[in-house]
Amino acid sequence: MPSLDEEELFLPSTPGKFKDRSYTMHRQFHRCFTSTNSGSRYFSSTWGGIHWEKQVRTSAQIHRTNGFSVLVTGAAGFVGTHVSLALKKRGDGVVGLDNFNNYYDPSLKKDRKSLLNAQNIFIVEGDVNDAQLLAKLFDVVAFTHVMHLAAQAGVRYAIENPHSYVHSNIAGLVTLLEACKSSNPQPSIVWASSSSVYGLNEKVPFSESDRTDRPASLYAATKKAGEEITHTYNHIYGLSVTGLRFFTVYGPWGRPDMAYFSFTRNILHGKPITVYRGKNRVDLARDFTYIDDIVKGCVASLDTAKRSTGSGGKKRGPAQYRIFNLGNTSPGDCSDDGEHIGKAIES
């Protein structure tokens, strides 16, 4: 493996800040090779050692009867933070994984991490594409479930950063599934797909049985690919898989790139707001879903997930495979959002 010059950069699973290259004697400096359509890259992370393993095990400890030990990827993200807190509150063991990329201000993720740490949830700073890190985590903890929420989000961002979506949403998913199928016992998997897979469908409301073969964005295409990939691993390796098609999620600790944040920011600064319209200048509607409802759906999916049927990469029998829409069934007109926010600010 070629060496990296001190100034050479590496690619995390989403375009993000480059990790601190320093390490102590109790932490393992690890480089993992990965490949994308844009060419070969390296990413770095620091992990390992006796103290690190103790933190992982402690965070994964279960404190309720018949509880779960859950690996949450994207744990410092919007949904990941809320799901992790809900699981920990009821007594499940939770270990988080996040690469703290800078798709939006990393300080928000650091603040969420502090919130999780205060509840004794340990967050591993690492990349979901790091196969050796995942193997180590599964070696240290026999996770009963995986809640996979790590992904490159955003639709318009893909126009200038297409490879990051393939790297995170497809390659990262495959790397995680490889770790899960090789584990003994295999965990049950719940993961975040997206309502964007419905693409150019005009029939509303959407149903899980509607066609999803006409994506309207690269983000949607990667999520659709994820559904096909998870089905393949379910069929070949006996992994129990539940995919959740999230609709537009809002609430405390939300992503600052979401429309309601930008609307609020612009209104407070006396700036105009931009409302995008659809085909033939039709006002767009979004099925805005409060974060607490998303959390309930995520936790319920974990609770009802059946065990994987394989072990050590070998299938022992048919395994559960499910896909659910997760929304509020009442789309709201985006053109009304700015007006509602403005009135709320004035009051």
Structural domain tally of the chain? 1
> H-helix or E-strand containing 58?
helix 50-60
> For residue 198, is it within any domain?
yes
- Give a yes or no: residue 256 inside a domain: no
Residue 206 domain flag: yes
Mean pLDDT (whole number) for 196-201:
93
Please write the tens of the pLDDT for every residue from 215-251.
999 999 999 999 999 999 999 999 999 999 999 899 9
Q: Band the pLDDT of 204: cuts 50, 70, 90.
A: confident
Q: pLDDT tens across 17-52, in order?
A: 333 333 333 333 343 333 333 333 444 557 999 999
Q: What is the pLDDT of residue 194?
A: 95
**Is residue 277 very low, low, confident or very high in pLDDT (cuts 50, 70, 90)?**
low
Q: Answer yes or no: is pLDDT of 262 > 70.
A: no
In a domain, 155, yes or no: yes
Confidence (pLDDT) at 104: 81
- Which stretches does DSSP call E strand in the chain? 28-36, 39-47, 69-73, 93-98, 122-125, 145-148, 188-194, 241-246, 249-250, 285-286, 289-290, 321-326, 332-333
Residue ranges making up the domain that contains 298: 58-250+289-328
In a domain, 278, yes or no: no
Q: What pLDDT does 238 receive?
A: 98
Q: Among all residues, which ones are annotated catalytic?
A: 219
Which residue type does 321 have? Y
User: Residue 73 maps to which CATH number?
Assistant: 3.40.50.720
In a domain, 267, yes or no: no
User: For residue 15, is it within any domain?
Assistant: no
Does a structural domain hold residue 259? no
Distances (CA, A) of 174 to 68, 131, 196: 23, 10, 20
Q: What is the pLDDT of residue 272?
A: 72
